[in-house]
Structure formats: structure tokens, C-alpha cells
């Protein structure tokens, strides 16, 4: 089975501001196991880690997973390192919307930046240095080192 229409998954994201832009999933049964591979594309609003401005992030998640029936409670199952791409399904149902939501979330950047050259916020006045030029001195001493400066001043002859 192939899924190429984002509308076929309904609304996979709980947050309505997240948008599923494209999906191409191939679902194939292999005995009791199910293989899912393909790609998911989404646009997700993020907040810049430096200047705190909102901006959209386009994510592209490559999917290559195997699903197997969930073992009964009490059964022990030992997974190997090759099984990190394995998940479980229950009651002969596979929740592809949850898969899309999880993979899109995992594809988000750890520290989102509105642009690689983002200058962030001024630590003195809080101005967004991408937009405003603040009047704070460029080489203002860090107040956390005031104690060390006092030690150096006492040592100086």
C-alpha cells in the first residue's frame, strides 16, 4: 500500500499550527511484521534560540521502520542493536498518524535558528540585535566576574 496524499492521514498533529506538506509512505506486510518506509515533509513554527522570534521550519523526515505484533504482557523480548528501527502494533492496527507525528518531531532542529547569522538579543538591554542597534557598550564587563576583578585590583602594584 502506498500513501501519497497528506489528507489520507487526517490531522496527525495535535498542534493545528503544524502543517503536513507532503507524505510518501510505502507500507508492506512481511508475514506478521510490517515495513514502513518513505518520507514526511512538514512545516512547523519554532522560536529562534538566540533572538526569540517565531519562524517556520521545514522538516523532512526519512522513515524506515519495521513493526511487529506487540508481545503479550509477561512475555520477555530481547532486542538487539538492529531492532532500534523496530516498533510494535496492537490489534492488527498500525497508527500511521502517530508515526508521522513522531518522525516530524524527531526531525526538528535541537537549537532552531531563524538564520545562521542570527545576532540574538543584547544581554544588557534585551534588544533584538538583528533589528535594532542598541546603545550598550560593546565591551561591557561581565558582572559575574566582578569578584575576580576585585582580586586582580588588589594584587596590582
* Residues 11, 5, 103, 97, CA torsion sign: positive
Alpha carbon dihedral 5, 108, 45, 129, in 10-degree steps, equals: -150
State the Cα–Cα distance between residues 32 and 40, nearest whole angstrom. 25
Q: Which tens digit of pLDDT belongs to each residue from 36-73?
A: 999 999 999 999 999 999 999 999 999 998 888 777 66
Which residues pair with residue 22 across a beta bridge?
41
Determine phi and psi for 27, rounding to 5 degrees.
-115, 120
- Taking only the tens place, the pLDDT of each residue in 10-34 is 889 989 999 999 999 999 988 888 8
CB atoms within 10 A of CB 52: 12
Q: What's the chain's average pLDDT?
A: 86
pLDDT of the residue at 109: 95
Amino acid at each position: 500500500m502506498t500513501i501519497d496524499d497528506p489528507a489520507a492521514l487526517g490531522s496527525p498533529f495535535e498542534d493545528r499550527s503544524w502543517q503536513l506538506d507532503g507524505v510518501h509512505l510505502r507500507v508492506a506486510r512481511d508475514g506478521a511484521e510490517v515495513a514502513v518506509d518513505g518520507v514526511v515533509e512538514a512545516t512547523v513554527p519554532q522560536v529562534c534560540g538566540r533572538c526569540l522570534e517565531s519562524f517556520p521550519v521545514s522538516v523532512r523526515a526519512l522513515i524506515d521502520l519495521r513493526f511487529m505484533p506487540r508481545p503479550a504482557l509477561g512475555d520477555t523480548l530481547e532486542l538487539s542493536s538492529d531492532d532500534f528501527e523496530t516498533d510494535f502494533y496492537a490489534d492488527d492496527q498500525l497508527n500511521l498518524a502517530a508515526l508521522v507525528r513522531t518522525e516530524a518531531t524527531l526531525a526538528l532542529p535541537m537549537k532552531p535558528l531563524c538564520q545562521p547569522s542570527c545576532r540574538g538579543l543584547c544581554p544588557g538591554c534585551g534588544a533584538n540585535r538583528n533589528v535594532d542597534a542598541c546603545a550598550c557598550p560593546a565591551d561591557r564587563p561581565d558582572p559575574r566576574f566582578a569578584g575576580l576583578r576585585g582580586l586582580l585590583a588588589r594584587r596590582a602594584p
